Amino acid sequence: MAITDIAHYTHLSPEDIESLGRELDTIRSDIEESLGSRDAAYIRRTISFQRTLDVAARLLIATTRSTAGWVLGTAALGFAKSVENMEIGHNVSHGQWDWMNDPEIHSSTWEWDMVAVSSQWRSSHNYRHHVFSNVLGEDDDLGFGVMRVTSDQPWRRRYLLQPLQNLFLALTFEWGIALHGVNLDRSRAEKLSQTRALVGKVARQGFKDYALWPALSLRRWRRTLKANAVANLLRNLWAYVVIFCGHFPEGTQKFTADVLETETRAEWYLRQMLGAANFKAGRFLGFASGNLCYQIEHHLFPDLPSNRLAEISRRVRPLCEKYGLPYLTGSLAHQYGSTLRIIHRLALPDRPAVAAIASSAAVSRISTQ
């Protein structure tokens, strides 16, 4: 739908929206001016923790003889991979730490520990998704090109398989991200170059996870091979849950392309607030999710450091109350359950279409009697 059709928005005058925009600009400038050594220490400490945990987990997997040791090591490795993927890789690639001017922690140089190519993801995600969030035909992350997540998308028979597609995407999420990063709208030469880069990254990642690390374990290579596969699966499932809970629960709004024709910066802010959702999390769950439990704040300020999103949320939520806007949040279980309901409901034709199909079937039965 167009943004002007959304009931949560229509009570605001143009002056209200511009006032909201100015208040959000103030939050951005306050955070930018306060960035400093405390924030830099946070990301360096996080990277050190992740790498230490990764090594410790691999040593435990390779040296322990017990099943319990293998399970603990694999779980630790899965957690390390999740932290690298979300709190480090995702956020560094957003440019959240570029202000440090550290060439090792910069969006232009960071390559994350998964099959997707960081540079391709930055183009598809930072631009296509965050600039055109939830705009049909513009935001490539809206259903990731394979699922129907709004009734504004015409129903097709292939969507009947959507629940199975959703499960498959959850299990193979890093591969979905990798393929999603290849821009099919580019020239043949550019697509060929992107494909070559992706094949090279897949080969290097596969060699590291499924050949090099198992080989270093010598006679216990099978334990390491299995642990790496399970850890990657755990990371995929967790990343999928976090991303879907931030974008597709009931109440998140989708928009038609005409919203972009005269959109101001303040209206862009409003679109981000209406199109995203949070989930409740403590410090541990927030850290494990890359602080994407604050998806509303992340969409408002995608290039501000993740460790500041909790602080930002304490200023954004009162603004939503002040301007009568929804602040979508709930437990992780609630948000995921809501997302699953959307996915399963929209796999079916819209109600009028269902009625028409039922009527057609009834007529067919009568005519054959």
Q: Is the pLDDT of residue 1 over 60?
A: no
β-sheet bridge partners, residue 255: 135
Q: Is the pLDDT of residue 5 over 70?
A: no
Q: What is the pLDDT of residues 328-348, one digit of tens each?
A: 999 999 999 999 999 999 999
Element of type H or E holding 67:
helix 67-82
Residue 255 phi/psi, 5-degree rounding, is -135, 150
The first and second tokens of residue 190, run together, are: 């550019």
Q: Is the pLDDT of residue 42 over 60?
A: yes
Confidence of residue 304 (pLDDT cuts 50, 70, 90): very high
Which percentage of the chain shows pLDDT scores above 70? 92
Q: Regarding predicted confidence, which is higher, 361 or 274? A: 274
| Across 175-204, average pLDDT | 87
**How far does CA 337 lie from the centroid of its chain?**
17
pLDDT in the model for residue 152: 86
| Across 343-369, average pLDDT | 57
Give the global pTM: 0.91
Q: Regarding predicted confidence, which is higher, 17 or 143? A: 17
Confidence of residue 357 (pLDDT cuts 50, 70, 90): very low
pLDDT in the model for residue 3: 52
Cβ neighbours of residue 180 under 8 Å, at least 6 residues apart?
A: 124, 140, 141, 144, 145
Tell me the three state secondary structure of residue 255. strand
Q: Is the pLDDT of residue 355 over 70?
A: no
Which percentage of the chain shows pLDDT scores above 90? 80
Residue 155 phi/psi, 5-degree rounding, is -75, 140
Q: Is the pLDDT of residue 367 over 70?
A: no
pLDDT in the model for residue 352: 62
pLDDT in the model for residue 141: 87
State which amino acid sits at residue 252.
T
| Across 189-193, average pLDDT | 87
Q: Is the pLDDT of residue 361 over 60?
A: no
Q: What is the pLDDT of residues 212-229, one digit of tens each?
A: 999 999 999 999 999 999
State which amino acid sits at residue 67.
T
Q: Is the pLDDT of residue 351 over 90?
A: no
What is the Cα–Cα distance from 314 to 21, expressed in whole angstroms?
A: 17
Contact 256, 2 (CB under 8 A): yes
Q: What is the pLDDT of residues 238-291, one digit of tens each?
A: 999 999 999 999 999 999 898 898 899 999 999 999 999 999 999 999 999 999
Angle, in degrees to the nearest 10, between helices 14-34 and 309-322: 160
The first and second tokens of residue 179, run together, are: 């393929």
Confidence of residue 354 (pLDDT cuts 50, 70, 90): very low
